[in-house]
Amino acid sequence: MRKWLVVLVAILMVVPILGANFKKGKLVEVSNISGDLYATGGELIAKEVDGDVLFFGRKARLWNIQGGVFFFGEKLVLNGAISRSVRFFGRSLEVNGNMGRDVLFAGQELRIEKGAVVEGEVYAAGEEIDIYGQVNGKVSLAGNEVVLGGVLNSDARIKAKNIIFLPEAKIQGKLEYWAPKQIEIPQGVVAGEVVFHKYSGKKVQKKAEKVKKEVKKEAKAPAKKKRGFLFSGLWFKISWFISSLVLGYILFLLFPSLVKRLKEEILSKPVKAFLLGAAEAVAFIILILAFFVIVYTWLIGLIGIPIFLIGLYFAKLLAAFALGAIVLKWIFKKEITLWISYPVGLILLILISLIPYVGWLFCLVLRLWGFGGFLYRVKI
């Protein structure tokens, strides 16, 4: 049975990647692409892509993407229609077209040009943020200078040293802002309530830099709302719990005996499982990096990274099965069915992750613990 699990997980991880298009070079120009596009290099020019675009490089210009965009580099220019969300980590983002969903920005300069439309929400942390177009969802901005010259059709939250309202600016919802001093807002600009919080410029700049680092490192915000509003930590935990609960129950339905054996494995040999998981994780990372520096095998590296990350995700689910079983057995002095112990384990993982400063370290240890047990049992 365990061989079938390995085959199933491998298929689920590899098939979507094999259907993608991989490009690399100093200048990559593509058009009319069917499927996802993964690219690395100096400059990317892509038009009419029927899928997501993932790019690591210097700069890119994109037109009409029927999916989402993930960019890590220097400059990105978006034109035409982008069907899904845009996630940007770099220096400069220029939006000229219609964004179908949210825009997530962590960088130096964001410009939403006149005529551009963002259908979803905008979350941005940067040095300079200029919005001249239209945003239909909520707006959360943190930076040194924010210029509003467009139409915001929902609520806005802004933290900045300088906030400038141009005559064309319109906020159809509530405005809540943090600034060194209260701003004289032209009459008719804000349709809803205006709430002011005094905030020093130095604190704002330091906060923006901190948020950018956290977004790049974790792709999620602090759990406490008062320490940042760019992401909802509570929503992230709830969505992770629901998705993990469903996936874990599916695995248990399909492979009940295997899940039980894996749980028993890491419980009976916890130290060995952790050491094996840590060693395999380090070896895997070194192997992937080695593939990336070899010109003709970079494709293997791109395939290996998602496989490794998904493997760590499944390892955390396995750790939840074991952790819940340990705690419930200690409380009730008897074995409790995994149907009950598994959600308890997931809740414990969330609580552990909320421990200040060291929560992430405990979660990493638990991931490696589950990872090592899985590798030992299936003898990969």
| Of 338, 359, 340, 341, the residue nearest 350 (C-alpha) | 359
Higher pLDDT, 298 or 237: 237
pLDDT tier, 291 (very low <50, low <70, confident <90, very high otherwise): low
pLDDT at 168 over 80: yes
Rounded-to-integer distance, Cα 361 and Cα 107, Å: 27
User: What percentage of the chain carries pLDDT values higher than 90?
Assistant: 31
Residue partners of 131: CB distance under 8 A and separation at least 6: 110, 112, 122, 139, 146, 147, 148, 149, 150, 152
Q: Assess contact for 121 and 104: CB atoms under 8 A.
A: no
Instruction: Count the neighbouring beta carbons within 10 Å of the beta carbon of residue 13.
Output: 17
Q: At what angle do helices 270-292 and 359-378 cross, to 10 degrees?
A: 90
Structure tokens at 111: 């410009």
Structure tokens at 110: 């964001």
Write the DSSP symbol of residue 186: P
**What local confidence, expressed as pLDDT, does residue 3 receive?**
43
pLDDT tens profile 353-368: 778 777 778 877 877 7
Q: Assess contact for 130 and 150: CB atoms under 8 A.
A: no
Instruction: Count the neighbouring beta carbons within 10 Å of the beta carbon of residue 203.
Output: 13
Cross-strand partners of 184: none
- What one-letter code names the amino acid at 173? G
Segment 24-50 mean pLDDT: 88
pLDDT tier, 374 (very low <50, low <70, confident <90, very high otherwise): low
Q: Can you tell me which residue has the tokens 């997501």?
A: 52
pLDDT tens profile 184-200: 888 889 999 999 988 76
Q: Counting Cβ atoms within 10 Å, is residue 357 exposed (0-12), middle (13-18) or buried (19+)?
A: exposed
Cross-strand partners of 141: 124, 158
Rounded-to-integer distance, Cα 274 and Cα 346, Å: 19
**Distances 240 to 50, 112, 367 between C-alpha atoms, Å:** 28, 31, 15
pLDDT tens profile 108-149: 999 999 999 999 999 999 899 999 999 999 999 998 999 999
Higher pLDDT, 121 or 240: 121
Cα 77 versus chain centre, distance = 21
For 312-351, letters b (16+ CB in 10 Å) and e give bbbbbbbbbbbbbbbbbeeeeeeebebeebbbbbbbbbbe
pLDDT tens profile 259-287: 777 777 777 777 777 777 777 777 776 76
**What local confidence, expressed as pLDDT, does residue 16 receive?**
46
pLDDT at 380 over 50: no
Cross-strand partners of 158: 141, 177
- What one-letter code names the amino acid at 219? A
pTM for the model: 0.52
Phi and psi, residue 183, nearest 5°: -100, 140
